[in-house]
Amino acid sequence: MAMPKKTKNTKKTSPALQERSSRKTIIDVAKCAGVHWSTVSRGLNPEKRHLISPEMIERVEACAKKLGYRANAMASALRTQRSRTVGVIISNLGDPVHPPIVRAIEDRFAEIGYVTIVGNTDNHPLRQAALIDRFIQQGVEGLIVATFERNDPGIAACVEANIPVVAVFRDPESEFIPSVRVDDAKAMELAVHHLAECGHRQIAHVGGPQNVSTGYHRYRGFRRACKVLAQDGVAPTAVFGEAFTVEEGEFACERLLTENPNITAIVAGNDMLAVGCLRHLRNKGISCPGNISLVGMNDMLFMDAIAPALTTISTPTAELGTQASHILIAMIKGTPVQNDRIVLKPVLLARDSVAAIKLPTRTRSSDLSDAAKREVRIRHRQS
């Protein structure tokens, strides 16, 4: 056979590869400009551009634009080991609390030319594990995780893979993981104090799952606040939903009211649960705030438009995402991060779902209102 043994540049590549080869490479640009492609690489890279003469840069850029050249991010990532990609893991984009967080993260990383990939776990631990795996495999430079449970085993996989991770919205209670969250316990204290000020004494908590830090800390904050006010006759009760959903709130509220028909106020662990409570109350013909007052948490979108406008604790979701991004960016750059345990302050938004009731005997709301009152802003959402 007359075939030479060195048949390198023949059509060895599979047909599938050729199809998309319309994409221009650095070599095409070099050919167009009549220079070596390494020169093109430097001319197009802002950090190495100073090595190249200005007119050469101009020539290269002109050719690149003419050919519609776009650098191949995969090749670049492979060579530099930097994918310019971060991952965000949440339980469910459909939950209105998450989109603002993700939005803020995407914004911050877009600013530095990074791309954001998202994944939903629906609170399945193994789906979370699979997601983290896929993202690491994909080469993410960092991860922002909103689904960590307390002492989550999934954390191990991340630190083992030596990839920067920050927890947002939850407290992983791990010394290795920076976190950004709101002061959940404080939030519940605000709610309880507000209700006590309004004369409520039989206060119940409709909480979320206790294996996630938000549910746990909020319940603790609720109990602590009640204990502080025990001298005033504040008596706590609590039921828990299996998840932070409207349905679970509805069920939990039903259980609560059958077991404790005499409560006058509910602190929900979440606006979702609060909406569930509201639905149950409406179904049973119980007036809110006429018969029972209700406080939610997070101030999700439209919580000021529902009936009754929900008194709730606002959570700065966008700020959460922004702060988490700042930390992660610092970690990626290798910059030392000064404060990696950020706890934001919650604010009570007094609206229409809480009513004052007549105090039974002595009135001593004055001394407990002192500290609490400063935290309260009576305002409706403007934006």
Q: How far apart are CA 27 and CA 132, in angstroms?
A: 36
Q: Which is nearer to a second copy, 100 or 208 (CB)?
A: 100
Task: Specify the stretch interacting with DNA by CB under 7 A; choose among 41-49, 149-157, 293-301, 365-373.
Answer: 41-49
Kindly report whether the peptide bond that precedes residue 308 is cis, defined as omega within 30 degrees of 0: yes
Nearest distance, CB of residue 13 and DNA, angstroms: 5
Q: Which is nearer to a second copy, 71 or 337 (CB)?
A: 71
Look at residues 17, 23, 37 and name the one whose alpha carbon lies nearest to residue 67: 23
Q: Which is nearer to a second copy, 62 or 74 (CB)?
A: 74
Cross-sheet strand order for the sheet of 293-298: 235-240, 202-207, 265-268, 293-298, 311-314, 347-349, 376-377
Strand partners, 268: 206
Token pair, residue 108, equals 């911050």
Q: Does 162 bind DNA (CB under 7 A)?
A: no
> In this structure, what DSSP letter does residue 244 have?
S
Q: Does 14 bind DNA (CB under 7 A)?
A: yes
CA-to-CA dists, residue 54 to 60, 69, 72, 228, 313, angstroms: 10, 20, 24, 71, 57
Nearest distance, CB of residue 361 and a second copy, angstroms: 36
Residue pointed to by tokens 């995969």: 74
**H or E segment at 368?**
helix 365-375
* CB distance 120 to 92 below 8 Å: yes
Q: Which is nearer to DNA, 19 or 175 (CB)?
A: 19
The binder of a second copy chosen from 107, 183, 232, 319 (CB under 8 A): 107
The item of DNA, a second copy, none sharing an interface with residue 96, based on CB under 5 to 8 Å by kind, is a second copy
Amino acid at 194: H
x/- mask, a second copy, residues 183-222, rule CB under 8 A, reads: ----------------------------------------
CB neighbour class for 153 (10 Å; exposed up to 12, middle 13-18, buried from 19): exposed
Q: Does 46 bind DNA (CB under 7 A)?
A: no
Q: Does 314 bind DNA (CB under 7 A)?
A: no
The binder of a second copy chosen from 78, 156, 230, 371 (CB under 8 A): 78
Q: How far apart are CA 213 and CA 227, in angstroms?
A: 21
Token pair, residue 40, equals 């093109």
Q: Give the residues lining the site for a second copy (CB under 8 A).
A: 16-17, 20, 22-23, 68, 70-75, 77-78, 80-81, 83-85, 92-94, 96, 98-100, 102-103, 106-107, 110, 113, 115-120, 133-139, 160-162, 246-247, 275, 278-279, 301-302, 305-308, 383
Q: Which residues bind DNA (CB under 7 A)?
A: 8-10, 12-14, 17, 21, 23, 25-27, 35-39, 41-42, 44-45, 47-48, 50-53, 56, 69, 71-72, 75-76, 78-81
